[in-house]
Amino acid sequence: MIFGSLQTLAAFVITLGILVSIHEFGHFWVARKCGVKVLRFSVGFGKPLWTWTDRLGTEYVVALIPLGGYVKMLDEREGPVAESERHESFNSKPVLSRIAIVAAGPIANFILAVFALWLMYMAGIRTIVPQVGSVLPDSPAAVAGIIPGDEIVSIDGEETPGWQQVNLELLSSIGDTRNLSVATRAGVPGELSSAAVRNKTVAISDWLVDDSGDGIADPVRALGIEPYTPLIPAVLGELSPDGAARAAGLQAGDRILTSNGQPVKDWLSWVQVIRANAGKTIQVELEREGRRLNLALTPGTRELNGEPSGYIGAGVQQVGWPDDMVRKLQFNPVAALPKALDSTWTLTSMTVESLWKMVAGLVSVKNLSGPITIAKVAGASLQSGLENFLYFLSMLSVSLGVLNLLPIPVLDGGHLLFYLIELVRGKPVSERVQVLGLKIGVTFVVGIMMLALYNDLSRLF
């Protein structure tokens, strides 16, 4: 537990450190190119843990609180500036230079996203073929004629080689009322075929607007589709040292055959038996190294959804996907670049659309996530491999770039708005208006942060 928490924290610090460093480096690099003196480049806030000063007088800092960073430039609005250095101050530069410096941070985030996705596509990504396992009766998918075994080939003309792409295409339609064009290829669950591709029309209305979950939508299941998964045999994996399974004499690798004389066909059936027999002794027949054994097992009791539920402290032995259900997408450096650019554009447009739909009330504000959720997802993506971490990093980098470009004072976009007005008017926005905008911006940003943290805590507890 402690190791897992430390790993999650480390993943969060690494992820945020990369994002902040790249964002602030964008400001820093362009500021130097424009002749502005940079006083400090800080990753994190609070007490400095490490400092270093270069020959140009810039102090580099790694601070205690890893929740952001900043670049401090020479600026007459923030303190006295020597006459000999005024030409190096930020405020003395032409408005186009100031626009370039401010815009460089978000632009650096988009460049980071392209680079991360480029690396991911070159390394190769493994994806599960999006084959339908079951379809709920009277669901949008069932009405459209999608049946078990169908492979989802594309949605609205966009190819969907894996479930990740299916989810992205469906999420981009949140709040819509229209017909989705879903291309499918018929088959048998677990057995891919070369059947002809057929186009099916799936009608959606106010798509996921009334989602009453925890704010994290599951668009595939909302269509009434349960993805295909291979049958998982009831074979025990890791056992808890103090669990009921170990106390009864069960061992890792045991295959459960029957429970109270009734056959156990797979792991899900076994889980249902255990949950239904909290505190009750059941007779178990199992197979171990070619021999059949009989044991008495009494599951422990815990509460699940307000009801008593049995548990034995045993995990499942992992099984692999059939080879024909796993695709590996890998590209050479030249081919990977347009793929990375296209994916970055898709993530950017989806982020912008989601923000707009949130403002319009078409997407629940429960979708906002704060540092706790980011830390958990960062830890999970880091554990699940480089490709998943790179994809998560690119998603977060795009989100950071888009959010910073919003025309809200205190964010980069707010400063850009003031400078663009100055460019048109030929003179700066008045100090009074800037101060008022700053107060409104701070209030808005703090409010959003509190809401995101509330969502985090709601999901956690």
For 265-303, what is each residue's pLDDT tens digit? 899 899 999 999 999 999 999 999 999 999 999 999 988
Rg (CA), the chain: 27
Per-residue tokens: 271: 């889980």
State the pLDDT at residue 214.
Answer: 46
Q: Could you tell me the pLDDT band of residue 1, with boundaries at 50, 70 and 90?
A: very low
Query: Do residues 186 and 197 touch, judged by C-beta distance below 8 A?
Result: no
Q: Counting Cβ atoms within 10 Å, is residue 360 exposed (0-12), middle (13-18) or buried (19+)?
A: exposed
pLDDT for residue 179: 92
The mean per-residue pLDDT over the stretch 9-20 comes to: 83
Residue of 453 and 120 predicted with greater confidence: 120
Q: What is the mean pLDDT of the chain?
A: 86
- Give the pLDDT mean for 51-69: 89
For residue 33 the two structure tokens come to 């190119």
Asked if the model's pLDDT at residue 67 lies above 90, the reply is no
- What does residue 198 show for φ and ψ, rounded to 5 degrees? -120, 140
pLDDT above 90: percentage of residues in the chain: 46
What's residue 328's pLDDT?
86
Vertex 264 angle, CA 224 and 270, to 5°:
65
Q: Please tell me the predicted confidence (pLDDT) of residue 295.
A: 92
At residue 29, the pLDDT reads: 96
What integer pLDDT is reported at residue 116 of this predicted model?
A: 95
Residue range 302-306: mean pLDDT, rounded: 78
pLDDT value, residue 259: 93
% pLDDT > 70, the chain: 90
Indicate which residues carry an active-site annotation: 24
- The pLDDT score that the predictor gives to residue 355 is 82
**If you average pLDDT over each of 148-152, 202-206, 362-366, which comes out highest?**
148-152
Structure tokens at 74: 């020479």
- Tell me how far apart the alpha carbons of residues 137 and 273 are, in angstroms, rounded to a whole number: 26
For the question of whether the overall pTM of this predicted structure is more than 0.85, the answer is no
> What is the Cα–Cα distance from 47 to 60, expressed in whole angstroms?
13
In the block, tokens 């009453």 appear at: 212
Query: pLDDT of 172-212, one tens digit each?
Result: 888 788 899 999 998 777 777 677 889 999 998 877 776 54
Residues 89 and 75: beta-carbon distance below 8 Å: yes
150-162: average pLDDT:
91
At 406-451, the pLDDT tens digits run 888 888 999 999 999 999 988 888 888 888 888 888 887 788 778 7
Interatomic CA distance for residues 191 and 197, integer angstroms: 16
Token pair for residue 5? 């928490």
Residue 225 has pLDDT above 80, yes or no: yes
pLDDT at 255: 94
Rounded to whole angstroms, the Cα distance separating 333 from 348 reads 22
Domains and CATH numbers, the chain: 125-228+320-329 (2.30.42.10), 236-316 (2.30.42.10)
Both tokens of residue 9? 């924290």
What pLDDT is attached to residue 293? 93
Predicted local distance difference test score (pLDDT) of residue 212: 46
| Residues near 236 by beta carbon (within 8 Å), at least 6 away in sequence | 245, 250, 251, 252, 253, 254, 255, 256, 314, 315, 316, 317
pLDDT reported for residue 324? 81
What local confidence, expressed as pLDDT, does residue 388 receive? 84
Q: Is it the case that residue 12 has pLDDT exceeding 90?
A: no
